[in-house]
Structure 1
Amino acid sequence: MALQFIGIDPNTGDDESPTVWVDQEKDELVLQGWKPSPELEAECAEFTVPGHAVGIPEHEAVIRIPARMVPMIREACDAVERADVR
Structure 2
Amino acid sequence: MPLQFIGIDPNTGTGESPTVWIDDRTNEVVIQGWKPGPELEAECAAFEVPGHATGIPDHEAVVRIPARMVPALRKACDAAERAQLR
Alignment TM-score, normalising by the size of structure 1: 0.92
For 1:27, the aligned partner's letter is N
CA-based RMSD of the aligned residues comes to 1.8
CA contact (8 A) 2:27 2:83 kept: no
Q: Which runs of 5+ in 1 are unaligned?
A: none
Aligned: 1:4 with 2:4 = yes
Matches within 5 A, 1:19-38: 19-38=19-38
Match of 1:76 in 2: 76
% identical aligned pairs: 74
Moved more, 68-77 or 13-22: 13-22
**Deviations along 1:28-74, whole A, 9 cap, x unmatched?**
00000000010000000000001101100000000000000000000
For 2:28, the aligned partner's letter is E
For 2:65, the aligned partner's letter is I
After TM superposition, which residue ranges in structure 1, 4 or more long, deviate above 6 angstroms? none
Moved more, 50-59 or 12-21: 12-21
Question: What is the total number of aligned residue pairs between the two structures?
Answer: 86
Alignment TM-score, normalising by the size of structure 2: 0.92
Match of 2:60 in 1: 60
Compare the two structures and name the one with the higher helix fraction.
2
* Per-residue deviation, 1:27: 0.8
